[in-house]
Amino acid sequence: MTLNLCVLTPNRMIWDSEVKEIILSTNSGQIGVLPNHAPIATAVDIGLLRIRRNGQWLTVALMGGFARISNNEITILGNDAEISTDIDPQEAKQTLEIAEANLSRAEGKRQAIESNLALRRARTRVEAVNVISY
Amino acid sequence: MSSSHLSMLSSPKFSDLDSLSSRSFLSGLCLPAGAAASPRPSPSSTGVVHCGLRELRTRIDSVKNTQKITEAMKLVAAAKVRRAQQAVVSGRPFSETLVEVLYNINEQLQTDDIDVPLTSARIADIKSLGLDFVVLSVGKKGNSFFQRRPHIPVDRFLELGGLPTTKDAQAIADDVFSLFVSEEVDKVELLYTKFVSLVKSDPVIHTLLPLSPKGEICDINGVCVDAADDELFRLTTKEGKLTVERESFRTPTPAFSPILQFEQDPVQILDALLPLYLNSQILRALQESLASELAARMSAMSSATDNAIELKKSLSTVYNRQRQAKITGEILEIVAGAEALV
């Protein structure tokens, strides 16, 4: 019994295949999903999505969204998603530094919200590249 | 091709020499009566071209080059429209699923008693205040327009390179979201050109925020379209010409499983869904704007190419006529000279 995982972003489908297990970062913590999970709908936080397939773990940097799990079908709608192998480590680090600089320069509530979001996203991308796969 | 039985110049364009029939020394030649039947292009199409042969030649060459350029631009635009349409198609699964989810969450919410701050209950409050607006401009033309009008408050200028990506849409969505959430603005409207067909684009205004409680996308005139009704455009060929077909379809919205549990409370879920909705709407608007721009460029280049072809044709006719007149003049001089010697 395998799970079918579908990761969608506004401009294309990032992932559509069968998986054994996933670990999802939600607003209320990380949840692991195995086959025959109870149906739930949850908001997804900006963080890593780890996928186990054929005994190997893959990492996807997910920029927030929504996930629905029912009947062994997982549908994740993300604002943006990048598979860790598609991320360039140097570029991710640079983006993180720029985001940190922007946050320290932010004035006002609005800029603070924006730069916070950008920082979290950049951090997730760097984490996705650095994660050890076991 | 005139059916002449002349023994003299066998050039097929001899029919054009009927203009010289008035000259007496040509009376020995019998000009074909039917020659005048070949219609001369009306002089009004080129005016009367008085330049010399060399200038005409140069002009014809430059028109030929222009034609090549415009045709190339048309083909490039056509290829890009196809890609833009591909992008819209690959964005479909996302919007379909999102619509499904939104519908079901709305249904669930309407049975619960939840105070959702992002729905149109706030519009009543807003209407009592005056209208103050700020513009977020995207694209070169818009940017230069607003830069020349400093009295319109512009929040940010954005420019896109090529096909709009999720990151571009995200940047705009972030801005909108933070403005809305920090209560600096109360209503967000999206203004873009909707791609109707290869020759027609409609500017439309959609209310992006606040969301209507029934999951509808509302126009500025209050015309609401169900979010589940989606329209797609497709570039196809009909009778050998490129056309665009729009097909509207309705996303199937099956009900959620009734035992579906929400991991967080509905407000948080909606908070998560909102950026998704914003992103997909903005991305869709960007893609449609790009497609309308490309379609307009395609049709403009296509008519420019046709004009160039016509211009070349009439210029060539004038050129040839002048060339033949020159040749005839030289022949006449020789004949007159020969006769004078005799």
Are A8 and B94 a contacting pair at CB < 8 A? yes
Higher pLDDT, B114 or B78: B78
- At B120-146, the pLDDT tens digits run 333 344 444 556 677 777 877 777 777
Q: Assess contact for B262 and A41: CB atoms under 8 A.
A: yes
pLDDT higher than 60, residue A9: yes
pLDDT higher than 60, residue A134: no
Q: What is the pLDDT of residue B63?
A: 94
Q: Is B260 exposed, middle or buried (0-12, 13-18, 19+ CB in 10 A)?
A: middle
pLDDT higher than 50, residue B250: yes
- At A77-109, the pLDDT tens digits run 888 888 888 888 888 889 889 988 888 888 887
Rounded to 5°, angle at Cα B254 from B248 and B256 = 140
pLDDT-derived band of residue B252, with 50, 70 and 90 as boundaries? low
Nearest-angstrom CA–CA distance, B110 and B127: 25
Q: What is the CATH number of domain A1-81?
A: 2.60.15.10
Domain boundaries, chain A: 1-81, 87-129
- At B94-115, the pLDDT tens digits run 877 887 777 776 666 555 544 4
Q: What is the pLDDT of residue B72?
A: 94
Between the alpha carbon of residue B187 and those of residues A109, B99, B176, B213, the distances in Å are 18, 21, 10, 15
Chain centroid, CA B223 distance in Å: 26
Of B40-44, B175-179, B197-201, B314-318, give the range with the top mean pLDDT. Answer: B314-318
Are A41 and B101 a contacting pair at CB < 8 A? yes
pLDDT higher than 60, residue B226: no
Q: Assess contact for B253 and B81: CB atoms under 8 A.
A: no
Give, rounded to a whole angstrom, the gap between the first and last alpha carbons of chain A.
Answer: 23
Strand positions, DSSP E, B22-138 = 135-138
Q: What is the pLDDT of residue A116?
A: 86
Q: What is the pLDDT of residue B288?
A: 82
pLDDT higher than 70, residue B61: yes
pTM: 0.68
pLDDT higher than 70, residue B69: yes
- Prior bond of B258 cis (ω within 30°): no
Element (H, E) at A29: strand A29-33
Are A27 and B280 a contacting pair at CB < 8 A? no
The number of beta carbons lying within 10 Å of the beta carbon of residue B50 is: 8
The closest of B296, B341, B308, B258 to B67, measured between CA atoms, is B308
Average pLDDT estimate for B309-323? 93
Give me the sheet containing B188-197, strands edge to edge: B188-197, B200-209, B216-219, B224-226
Q: What is the pLDDT of residue A63?
A: 87
Higher pLDDT, B177 or B334: B334
* φ, ψ at B121 (rounded to 5°): -65, -25
Q: Between A43, A66, A80, which is nearest B166 by CB?
A: A80
> Rounded to 10 degrees, what is the CA torsion of B212, B217, B218, B224?
-100
* Mean pLDDT of the residues in chain B: 69
Average pLDDT estimate for A67-73? 86
Task: Give the ipTM.
Answer: 0.74
Q: Between A27, A31, A75, which is nearest B97 by CB?
A: A75
Between the alpha carbon of residue A27 and those of residues A33, A42, A47, B272, the distances in Å are 16, 8, 10, 9
Element (H, E) at A81: strand A81-83
Interface check A63 vs B, CB under 8 A: yes
Q: What is the pLDDT of residue B221?
A: 52
pLDDT higher than 60, residue B68: yes
Q: Is A7 exposed, middle or buried (0-12, 13-18, 19+ CB in 10 A)?
A: buried
Higher pLDDT, B212 or A34: A34
Q: What is the pLDDT of residue B57?
A: 92
SS3 B227: coil
Q: What is the pLDDT of residue B91?
A: 79
The closest of B204, B253, B258 to B227, measured between CA atoms, is B253
SS3 B69: helix
Best B88, B156, B263, B268 residue to mutate vs chain A (most A CBs within 10 Å): B263
- At B10-60, the pLDDT tens digits run 333 433 443 333 343 333 332 333 333 333 443 444 455 556 888 999 999
Q: Which two tokens stand for residue A79?
A: 């604002």
Spell out which residues of chain A touch residue B165, defining contact as CB-CB under 8 Å. 11
Element (H, E) at A43: strand A40-53
Interface check A44 vs B, CB under 8 A: yes
SS3 content of chain B, % helix, strand, coil (to 5): 55, 20, 30
